[in-house]
Amino acid sequence: MNCNVQTRIGEQFLEVPFYNASGVLCVNTNDLDKLYECNYTGAVVTKSCTLKYRSGNPEPRYWCGEYGSINSSGLPNNGFDYYAKWMIDKNTKPVFLSTSPMNKNELNIIANKIRDLDYIKNPEFNLSCPNVINKPQIGYSFDDMKNTLQMITEILGEKKFGVKLPPYFDPIHFDYASDILSYYNTLSYITCSNSIGNGLLINTETEETRIRPKNGLGGIGGKYCLPVALSNIFQFNERLPNIDIVGCGGIYNGEDVFQHILAGACAVQVGTCLYENGISTFNKLYNELIELMRKKGYKCLNEFKGKIKII
């Protein structure tokens, strides 16, 4: 049986439903090229950029154990213009610019640049970086979120865009967030979810934190995140029928991808597993997803997307 795993995010077409999570293997053009040239990535997203180069937080700032990772990178990136330049003439698969402006002034400048560059399509505005000291996560303040979306949509005009959200944990927060998100009809997708912010992983032997910045607090990724991501996809999918959902969190194998899609995702991003295992991750996910679909008799993603059965 021939399986087809093609998908769409907004109006953009993906040959396969997986790509990197922003932050992983996408800070410099060498790594971005590898992702772009890989036959098993459906798209590429850049490191969340600020207006100018940032070196990020002091090291060690990433650590990974059996169940997942902790990071407090602090937005190390090469600045907006670097990523915008890399994206020129990338026409064989979608490339998404991710941006996490440091303040309103930067947001204003970056959003204006995005509006003026036709080839930047469906940028991902990151409303959920947990690792910049004294900068709260926008997605956890619904007033901030509304003001930010208002500003983005006023500047971008007709141009479509997406947002990367932090994970939410209470159904009322999904109601509040959905009320705001559904108001903006140029919002074409949401990515659920960013890392679980401000977790703490400890080394029992040395009795030390695993990372240095923020007294050891950082964003948790990897296996810890799968049930949280699935719940976020599921709860937003119920509330936002007209917005595509990109899943992100805890994907290590084809079954994890399958579950994200079942919960309502149209595509998925891979973070910690990609960081740990490199680009061959995508070939493995492809083979495993196809095998599972064959076993279940599914010929395309739409046959099971969002079709989770409630018992």
Q: Which spans of this chain sit near ligand DHB (rule: CB under 6 A)?
A: 23, 48, 71-75, 100, 126, 128-131, 194-195, 219
Residue 54 beta carbon to ligand DHB: minimum distance, rounded to whole angstroms:
9
CA dihedral 276, 165, 108, 46 (to 10 degrees): 20
Rounded CA-CA distance 13/15 in Å is 7
Q: How far is the CB of 279 from ligand DHB (least distance, A)?
A: 20
Residues 6+ apart with CB under 8 A from 198: 130, 214, 217, 218, 219
Radius of gyration of the chain (CA): 18
d(CA 261, CA 234): 10
Q: Which is nearer to ligand DHB, 48 or 148 (CB)?
A: 48
Instruction: Give min distance, CB of 209 to ligand DHB, in A.
Output: 16
* Nearer to ligand DHB among residue 102 and residue 308 (C-beta): 102
26, 38, 129, 225: the active-site residue: 129
Beta-carbon count within 10 A of 94 CB: 22
Q: Which is nearer to ligand DHB, 104 or 307 (CB)?
A: 104
Rounded least distance, CB 221 to ligand DHB, Å: 8
Helix (H) or strand (E) holding 248: strand 244-248
d(CA 159, CA 111): 11
SS3 72: coil
Closest CB to ligand DHB among 49 and 233? 49
Q: How far apart are the first and last CA of the chain?
A: 30
Closest distance of CB 217 from ligand DHB, Å: 11
What one-character-per-residue DSSP string does 122-159 give? S-EEE-----STT---GGG-HHHHHHHHHHHHHHHTT-
129 catalytic? Reply is yes
126 vs 153, beta carbon nearer ligand DHB: 126
Known catalytic residues? 129
